[in-house]
A and B are shown apart, each in its own frame.
Chain A
Amino acid sequence: MTSTGMSKNNARRRVVVTGMGAVTPLGNSMAATWNGLLEGVSTARAIGRFDASGFPTKIGYEVRAYRFDRALAGHDATYLNEAGEFGVTAAHEALRQAGLDGGRTKVIPERVAVMVGNGMGSPGLEWYAQHYLDGKFDGETLRKHGRFMPEMLATVIARMAQAKGGMATVHTACASSGQALGEAYEAVRYGEADVVVTGGADSMINPFYVAGFSLLGALSKRNDDPRTASRPFDKDRDGFVLGEGACMLVFEELEHALARGAVPLAEIMGYGITESAYRITDLHPEGIGPIEAMQMAVEDAGIEATKIGYVNAHGTSTALNDRIEALAIAKVFAGGKTFVSSTKSMTGHMISAAGAIELGVCLKALEHQTLPPTVNVFEKDPECRVELTPAQPTAIKLDYALSNSVGFGGSNTALVAGRLK
């Protein structure tokens, strides 16, 4: 892979993670999510929030036992949709861990930014029926419509963190939070910010999107056995299962973190981003796009590919993605002992939040020196020639991990994380 100049910065600032938070179908914190992964739990079930009986796919990974603490967002709680609520909760956990909540430590506000991946955020059927079809759309409705503006989440997080350095919202479908994380990493690395609150949030378990993905044939129809429906790399996989939630992280320059007494959890070492420029949904059959993204990330990290001990794959459980992604991974990490898993078997596909939670899983794996288990692979697809993690959590000496995300529209991201040395 020809160098793109990413690793030519001689005055290289190091980027560490000082806080993480999550709301997922496995639990309403990063710790609960990690524990759920170790237990190999799949919480998929029949969709409960709307009558899905008329849809070909009637299952999903819904966040449960969750109540949004409106006090976290104050007055702005009115302007958050479900994804926004998940995101704010996760951001609160991350900021608290980083010691950046409530002004506990002083940072220069203009050196703190927010960069998040957020979903499409459509209102639901009842909202449209009530406010749109009969033409009774007025100014008050407009303000309530602000709930569905993707940038509202970044706005609220900026207030929570007193981040005055600017904010951005990224949407590249399933690669959204992977890209947000990558841009946050580069902002810190190249000196544009000292701290970036970053991550992703999404909730597409909504009649419009269940219908839309069903029309594409992308969703599993294993309605009779929801817990095993999401089965990345399994020979009989038949599509993905929608999940929802959020994961937020605090990226920070290493010296800045140490100077204020923060505890780095891990280091973000490399970022790769490409565009397949092939088709809107399909991957290139030879893996062009994801291969280059992974190679770019590894090169940016300044390590050999064979040093990557674990890859958290995009692994959606669709026939095409898993086969081609496995081909790409096998090519990039040939000659090494790299374990692969997709945790979508346990979280579902969290779309714009996927990249963030899956990097979070990599960071937990590094922290605990433990590979998350592979779940719902009953017979591995012989065309997926990667070494999957065992069916139970496995202790391992792990120095580096990589998280992949591949989006509709052709954006491919890869992020390398390592134990801080």
Chain B
Amino acid sequence: MSNKISSGSALIRRDDDVVISAVGAVTACGIGLEAIWDYARSDAAPPQDAQSYGLNDFKAVAHFSDKRMMKAVSTSDALGLAAVEILKKAARWPELGVKPEMIGVYAGAPSASTNANDYYMDALKAAMHPAPVNGILVDTAKFGQTCMEAKPTTLLIGLPNNVLCYAAMLLDARGPNSNYTSSMLSGMTAVMNGARRVSRGQLAVAVAGGFAYFSATEVNEKMYLEAGFDAFPYADGAAFTTLERRAPAVARGMKPLASLLSFATGSDAGNAWSVEASGQSLERAIQRALNDAGLTPDDIGLVLATDSARRGLETRGLSVLSRVFANARARPAVGNFSRRFGDLREAGGILEMALAPRIMAAGAIPQGLASEAAMKAGFKREVPGARAALVMRQGFSGESSVAVVGRD
């Protein structure tokens, strides 16, 4: 699927362009967009072990305007909501002046994780047979009885759409909304659909983003590190954006961070957990996104690829880019945030969209975001005079999401 988000030529800024006007973000490498950008440009070494990409020590409650909310949400949700609270400040929310029915929340969220709910796990442990009974480990009836001593809101703590719900309450956002549990592409899907709503006039403001909290347990770490997914470590993080038309954002005193020009998605339609090596579906998605933005490969000076922690996705992505830009006057710079920040899973792709214009303005990808594999494939770090960038993300089973982003 694909569509144009902003009108007119992608290289001319218009009042009705859909822009990212603010970002609220939390990562293990920085909190808030400016700190994250400073880190991205710095010479600081990236975290050296998987645990350092985690946010177990992050005090979400310090960011909450209503501390009571902490009792009702999981650690994972608290991370997402902290990013929304940071966004509220960055977006000058009290000055918004938009009716609640014209504000909508679009969230990319992790799926429910029953093992992260202590009430359930405590009841399970209490219900274990001392020894297997006919091969059965758990006394289910006893589990039921023991669970009834748990907190009444036990189920609610694990709802995948908690951040959508509580963010909507925080922001009084009563308009169209959604919540995606599409794993790696969830956050970009949320931004894409929020932007579509703004583009169509169905919303004045979309609060769109995603959050990921994967290091909640040692088991989660073992799952991915020992399973041989050795590309990039999984990282915890959250990033939410305000999406609105340029004119009202500027009128409110905001300086647009990026223009969203078009989006496209693709899928290999192959087997689960497998990725079609040629990357044709990704290539077609890139072509559709460029077409919808009214651009050609010559107009793209920067590509930010953000790939999930799977072997081969980076290679596939570079192979696709080599074909897309085969006849371009000059090859674009290619960078990869995952090298510096880890793979932010459901929050992946969002920081890239927000920071692509700054990288273009700086004229080169910061060293820490450069991709050695891309250099070897003939791409570069320098971004001379670029006005438009591609942000692309690939998922577990060969699905992909592509955004074309412009800078002022």
Check A94 for interface membership: any CB of B closer than 8 A: no
State the Cβ distance, B199 to closest chain A Cβ, in Å. 9
A129 & B137 in contact (Cβ 8 Å cutoff): yes
Given A6-B200, A128-B114, A166-B401 contact (CB < 8 Å): yes
Given A159-B269, A167-B182, A191-B3, A129-B104 contact (CB < 8 Å): no
CA distance A287 to B397 in the complex (A): 41
B143 & A166 in contact (Cβ 8 Å cutoff): no
Check A213 for interface membership: any CB of B closer than 8 A: yes
Given A122-B112, A170-B181, A4-B203 contact (CB < 8 Å): yes
Check B360 for interface membership: any CB of A closer than 8 A: no
Given contacts A110-B284, A277-B173, A409-B162, 18 further A-B contacts (CB under 8 A): A4-B101, A54-B142, A55-B147, A75-B271, A122-B112, A128-B121, A133-B125, A137-B223, A138-B226, A138-B227, A151-B183, A155-B399, A159-B270, A164-B268, A164-B269, A166-B265, A168-B189, A277-B168
A-B contacts, 24 of them at CB < 8 A, read: A5-B200, A55-B145, A109-B269, A123-B114, A125-B140, A126-B136, A138-B222, A148-B111, A150-B111, A151-B181, A164-B266, A164-B281, A166-B265, A166-B285, A167-B265, A168-B182, A171-B109, A172-B161, A190-B200, A212-B147, A215-B155, A274-B174, A408-B165, A410-B165
User: Whose C-beta in chain B lies nearest to the C-beta of A112?
Assistant: B269
B128 & A129 in contact (Cβ 8 Å cutoff): yes
Residues of B contacting A214 in the complex (Cβ-Cβ under 8 angstroms): 147-148
B182 & A169 in contact (Cβ 8 Å cutoff): yes
Query: Which of A74, A190, A274, A407 is within 8 Å of B161, CB to CB?
Result: A407
State the Cβ distance, A208 to closest chain B Cβ, in Å. 5
Residues of B within 8 A of A (CB): 1-3, 72, 99-102, 104-105, 109, 111-112, 114-115, 120-121, 123-125, 127-128, 136-138, 140-145, 147-148, 150-156, 158-162, 164-166, 168-169, 171-183, 185, 189, 193, 196, 200-203, 218-219, 222-224, 226-228, 264-273, 281, 284-285, 288, 396-397, 399-401
Residues of B contacting A164 in the complex (Cβ-Cβ under 8 angstroms): 266-269, 281, 284
CA distance A76 to B271 in the complex (A): 6
Residues of B contacting A54 in the complex (Cβ-Cβ under 8 angstroms): 140-145
Residues of B contacting A148 in the complex (Cβ-Cβ under 8 angstroms): 111
A167 & B267 in contact (Cβ 8 Å cutoff): yes
Residues of B contacting A145 in the complex (Cβ-Cβ under 8 angstroms): 223
Report the contact-size class of chain A (Cβ under 8 Å from the partner). 35 or more
User: Whose C-beta in chain A lies nearest to the C-beta of B177?
Assistant: A275
State the Cβ distance, B291 to closest chain A Cβ, in Å. 12
Residues of A contacting B147 in the complex (Cβ-Cβ under 8 angstroms): 55, 207, 211-212, 214-215
Query: Which of B114, B123, B183 is within 8 Å of A122, CB to CB?
Result: B114
Residues of A contacting B136 in the complex (Cβ-Cβ under 8 angstroms): 126
Residues of A within 8 A of B (CB): 2, 4-6, 8-9, 50-56, 74-76, 79, 109-111, 113-114, 118, 120-123, 125-126, 128-130, 132-133, 135, 137-139, 141-143, 145-146, 148-152, 154-156, 158-159, 161-173, 179, 183, 186-187, 190-193, 207-217, 273-278, 280-281, 288-289, 292, 407-411
Main secondary structure of the interface of A (DSSP, over half): mixed
Query: Which of B138, B201, B226 is within 8 Å of A129, CB to CB?
Result: B138
B169 & A277 in contact (Cβ 8 Å cutoff): yes
B169 & A278 in contact (Cβ 8 Å cutoff): yes
B128 & A216 in contact (Cβ 8 Å cutoff): no
CA distance A83 to B202 in the complex (A): 33
Q: Give the number of residue pairs across the A-B interface with Cβ within 8 Å.
A: 297
B141 & A51 in contact (Cβ 8 Å cutoff): yes
CA distance A274 to B172 in the complex (A): 12
Residues of B contacting A74 in the complex (Cβ-Cβ under 8 angstroms): 271
Residues of B contacting A118 in the complex (Cβ-Cβ under 8 angstroms): 181
Given A53-B141, A275-B173, A172-B227 contact (CB < 8 Å): no
Residues of B contacting A142 in the complex (Cβ-Cβ under 8 angstroms): 223-224, 227
User: Whose C-beta in chain B lies nearest to the C-beta of A209?
Assistant: B155
Residues of A contacting B227 in the complex (Cβ-Cβ under 8 angstroms): 138-139, 142-143
CA distance A50 to B272 in the complex (A): 30
Main secondary structure of the interface of B (DSSP, over half): mixed
Given A4-B202, A146-B272, A120-B111 contact (CB < 8 Å): yes
CA distance A134 to B264 in the complex (A): 44
CA distance A215 to B173 in the complex (A): 29
Given A121-B112, A277-B168, A411-B164, A143-B273 contact (CB < 8 Å): yes
CA distance A273 to B104 in the complex (A): 10
Given A79-B272, A211-B143, A277-B100 contact (CB < 8 Å): yes
Residues of A contacting B273 in the complex (Cβ-Cβ under 8 angstroms): 79, 143, 146
Closest 6 CB pairs of A and B: A212-B155, A166-B265, A5-B201, A54-B144, A54-B141, A139-B227
CA distance A326 to B213 in the complex (A): 39
Residues of A contacting B176 in the complex (Cβ-Cβ under 8 angstroms): 4, 273-275
State the Cβ distance, A252 to closest chain B Cβ, in Å. 14
User: Whose C-beta in chain B lies nearest to the C-beta of A52?
Assistant: B144
CA distance A72 to B114 in the complex (A): 29
B181 & A150 in contact (Cβ 8 Å cutoff): yes
B155 & A125 in contact (Cβ 8 Å cutoff): no
Given A126-B137, A156-B272, A273-B176, A281-B156 contact (CB < 8 Å): yes
A179 & B178 in contact (Cβ 8 Å cutoff): yes
Residues of A contacting B166 in the complex (Cβ-Cβ under 8 angstroms): 280
Residues of B contacting A151 in the complex (Cβ-Cβ under 8 angstroms): 181-183, 396
CA distance A209 to B159 in the complex (A): 11
User: Whose C-beta in chain A lies nearest to the C-beta of B395?
Assistant: A151
User: Whose C-beta in chain B lies nearest to the C-beta of A214?
Assistant: B148
Given A133-B125, A273-B176, A411-B161, A51-B140 contact (CB < 8 Å): yes
B152 & A216 in contact (Cβ 8 Å cutoff): yes
Residues of A contacting B161 in the complex (Cβ-Cβ under 8 angstroms): 171-173, 407-409, 411
State the Cβ distance, B190 to closest chain A Cβ, in Å. 10
CA distance A411 to B176 in the complex (A): 9
State the Cβ distance, A196 to closest chain B Cβ, in Å. 9
